Structure 1
Amino acid sequence: MGEGKLQPEARQKLECVDLSSDDEHKLAAQIRQACLESGFFYVVNHGIDLQFINEVFKHSKRFFSLPLEEKMKVLQDKNNRGYTPYAEEMLDPDKQSRGDSKEGYYIGVEILETDTRAKKPLHGPNLWPSSSLLPGWREIMEKYFEESLILSRKLIKLLALALYLDESYFNKPGMLDDPMAALRLLHYSAERSIPELGILGAGAHCDYGMLTLLATDSVPGLQICRQKDATPQIWEDVLPLEGAYVVNLGAMLERWSNGLFRATLHRVANPGKERYSIAFFMEPNFDCLVECLPTCHSDINPPKYPPMISGHYLLGRYIVTHNGFDSNAKSS
């Protein structure tokens, strides 16, 4: 159950993208470099107020501090909404001896049962904790969801430029006009991770979708492995940066870019302190066809991946993650 080598002295130096700049092409070039090198970067001056982010963390802690019996009343449903208990997920079963030492709460796009879209997998109404227990909780989370969606679209425009595409490329009908976006609140226990024994806050994995925005508290734990196929794997710390988001790419963007941009392997190795984070996953439409972009292949560099339907891919990944046999986690 060897887990590789950790290099704390080489703490990860990520690109820091300042969105207050008006030079979109300069920002796109900076993002391109980050996506080629590590698939991770910081974003600052992003437009979401820090006080509001702190308020969202406060409300997240309120939910996780509820008695287990209350949290289980909103247990995750078939559409991937609601509460996931400790150890429910195992992201790296080849190396983990037990499930992740975290609990979570998923919030998706709110879709009423009467909406025709509710017939699709991963679509439907959210599960919400009782307003009498957590007054104002739903409203805070819905506002944060919308602000995260706006920021994600700004970054996707820059990613299009970084791929030498028109900035509106991903605005085409059927791509991201009805995204399977998801907000996930995460709470890690204070148990110290022991990677060599297969005990981790979150096992090593690559994200599944297009783009992830991660807000963290001040407790470290996130680590990345630039070369997922290396032996041994080298793990580097990604330290919290106040007021910044950590942005990383998912497997769909890696496939869209024909492997040019990287969905980087990452994990959470808890330092022995309770830890909170908030992730926003930007996923394409359920029926979106993900295939190699025209700027990312040629006669001498043919497409490496077959076309796929976004929703079908996500369904498969969620199923194996919750059943503890995600054999594709490191090859996405």
Structure 2
Amino acid sequence: MSPSTKIARVGRNVIRPISTACTSFTSSPMPLGLASTMPPGFAATVGQLETFVLPEQVSGSVSDQAMAKAMIRAWRRDGILQVAMSQPQRQLYQSADASSRRFFRRPPGEKRACVDRRSYAGYVASGEEVTDGVADYSEIFTVTKDLPPKDKRVAGGWPCHGPCPWPDREMKSVLGRYTADLGASGTKLLQLIELGLDVPAGSLTKYTNDGWHHMRVLRFPPRHNTNGKGKDGRGIGSHTDYGLLVIAAQDEVGGLFVYPPHRGEQFSNWRQSAAGAKENEPGWVYVPPTPGTLTVFPGDMMQYMTNGMLQSTPHKVGLNTRERFAFAYFHEPNFRSTVRPLPGFNGGQEPLEGIHYGTHFTNMCLRNYPDRITTRRLVAEGRYRMLGCEELRDGGAS
């Protein structure tokens, strides 16, 4: 935490900033140390997030329940919270960050070679990803479920299934360990959400067996050194994330902004794109980099499953005066699963159909990467219709 942030400890596992601000967000009137990392050209409140220390395991103890309720309150108020990294997690992050920087320093031709026609894994050049019709400046390596060509799903041509085109064994090993560790944190967080929402254990985690977890390894160029394809100063445009839960890490440069929940406002990205939502309106909160922490916020599927109790958080990234590196890990349902509202969150009705996660994920990729070879091949070969096949759907949790 920043030295300028006062904290109060609530129980064993919650670190709560003390705020003098009169807003719904736990924030301060822009402390100098925190505000100094905000990208130029942006107007926003500077947030001070609640920080939680995850237990070794979630047992349902009194302290677990207290923390779970506090987390739900933080998400409903702020749209985002922080989780403190353990020392081993810090070491994993540092190794992953170093590996990321080595990859992005490679010559353009070597990076462009890291693409697979079957999956959306691999390299995404700056300007290739599109948000609300405008190119984003982020440079990305996407880590997806790494499936060999002989896997029956790959051999059968399932949409989005294929190998991850690693540039070398070192990056595969380092980022594989980091993704697995974030996955373990994701499972704990879902267990705590179940506690906090008073739903039966397993109500969320049953969907994430063999989950379609993936991670975006990101580099943002300095604002004065872009390729001119996007909007001045914009790294990634305003959007909500399509999945269940997002766990992110950032370096010391800073660039993340969130739009906290507002009464009466709700986005349903699975029905209509939330890209560009509120992008140029007031009310944004800057999330300053806090060493040794992860930021966590709900995605669209969490909003759907909780009937809006936990809303998907709009966020965007601004370009700073220096290049910036970050990770965004997505803890997701199984590709075949059909997610439905949680017990007690279905409005008193049993839904006739839920949302097939694999179709939802594929639709998001088609929207964000209209010109990628993976998209062109999927469309040309007519494989999108496979998503309606029984083999790719389990009708419920996996």
How many angstroms apart in 1 are the aligned matches of 2:293 and 2:54?
11
Q: Does 1:252 align with 2:286?
A: no
Aligned residue number for residue 242 of structure 1? 291
Q: Which residue does the alignment assign to 1:36?
A: 76
Q: Residue 51 in 1 paired to residue 86 in 2?
A: no
Higher mean C-alpha displacement, 288-297 vs 181-190? 288-297
Q: Whose Rg is larger?
A: 2
Note the alpha carbon deviations across 1:253-312, whole angstroms, 9 max, x for none: 11001111010110001222100001111110112112222222435xx69996210110
Paired with 2:369 and 2:127, the residues of 1 have a C-alpha distance of 10
Of structures 1 and 2, the one scoring higher in RCO (CA 8 A, sep 6+) is 1
| Gap change, CA 1:200 and 1:303, over 3 Å in 2 | farther
The 8 Å contact of residues 208 and 250 in structure 1, kept in 2 or not, is answered as yes
Q: 1:42, 1:305 → 2: CA distance?
A: 36
Q: CA deviation at 1:232?
A: 3.2
TM-score, structure 1 normalization: 0.84
1:313 corresponds to:
360
Give the TM-score of the pair, scaled to structure 2. Answer: 0.71
Asked if the contact 2:74/2:80 (under 8 Å) is kept, the reply is yes
- Residue 81 of structure 1 deviates from its aligned partner by 0.5
Count residues with an aligned counterpart.
306
Alignment of 1:3-152 (within 5 A): 7-8=43-44, 10-20=45-55, 23-46=63-86, 48-75=88-115, 77-93=117-133, 96=134, 99-118=135-154, 119=156, 120-131=158-169, 136-152=170-186
Distance 1:76 1:116, change over 3 A: closer
Give the Cα–Cα distance (whole angstroms) in 1 for the partners of residues 314 and 47 of structure 2.
14
Contact 2:49–2:81 under 8 Å retained in 1: yes
Q: Aligned pair 1:273/2:322, yes or no?
A: yes
Over 3 Å counting, the alpha-carbon distance change for 1:48 and 1:32 in structure 2 is farther
Write out aligned runs for 1:166-177 (5 A): 166-172=200-206, 175-177=207-209
Which of 208, 214, 220 is the equivalent residue of 1:188? 220
Q: What amino acid does structure 1 have at the position aligned with 2:48?
A: K
Relative to structure 1, the CA distance from residue 107 to residue 307 in structure 2 (aligned partners, 3 Å threshold; closer, same or farther) is same
Aligned to 1:327: none
Give the drift of 1:20: 4.3
Cα distance change of structure 1 residues 305 and 13 upon mapping to structure 2, 3 Å threshold: farther
For residue 334 of structure 2, what is the amino acid of its counterpart? Answer: N
- Aligned-partner Cα distance in 2 for 1:77–1:320: 17
Asked if residue 288 in structure 1 is aligned to residue 337 in structure 2, the reply is yes
Structure 2: distance between partners of 1:33 and 1:287: 31
Cα distance, 1:233 vs structure 2 = 3.8
The reply on whether 1:298 has 2:347 as its aligned counterpart is yes
What's the secondary structure of 1:74's corresponding residue? coil
The percentage of counterpart residues that share the same residue type is: 25
Aligned 8 A contact 2:307 2:341 in 1 = yes
CA apart distance, 1:102: 1.3
- Residue 36 of structure 1 aligns with an amino acid whose one-letter code is R
Q: 2:51·2:81 contact (CA, 8 Å) conserved in 1?
A: yes
Which residue does the alignment assign to 1:328? none
Q: Tell me how far apart the structure 1 counterparts of residues 109 and 85 of structure 2 sit (CA, whole Å).
A: 40
Tell me what 1:164 maps to.
198
Question: In 2, are the aligned partners of 1:48 and 1:147 still within 8 Å (CA)?
Answer: no
What does the per-residue CA deviation read over 1:45-84, in whole Å, with 9 as the maximum and x for residues that have no partner?
A: 4574212211110110000000001001113534111100
Unpaired runs of 5+ in structure 1? 325-332
Aligned alpha-carbon RMSD (Å) = 2.7
* CA distance 1:204–1:123, change in 2 (3 Å): same
Alpha-carbon shift at residue 198 of structure 1 (Å): 5.9
Aligned AA for 2:301? M
Question: Secondary structure at 2:369's aligned position in 1?
Answer: helix
1:154-207 deviations in Å (ceiling 9; x for gaps):
1111111122112322233xx11111110211000011599xx66410110100
Once the two structures are superposed, residues 78-125 of structure 1 have per-residue CA deviations (whole angstroms, 9 ceiling, x without a partner) of 4111100001112233xx4xx111110011122222222333322222
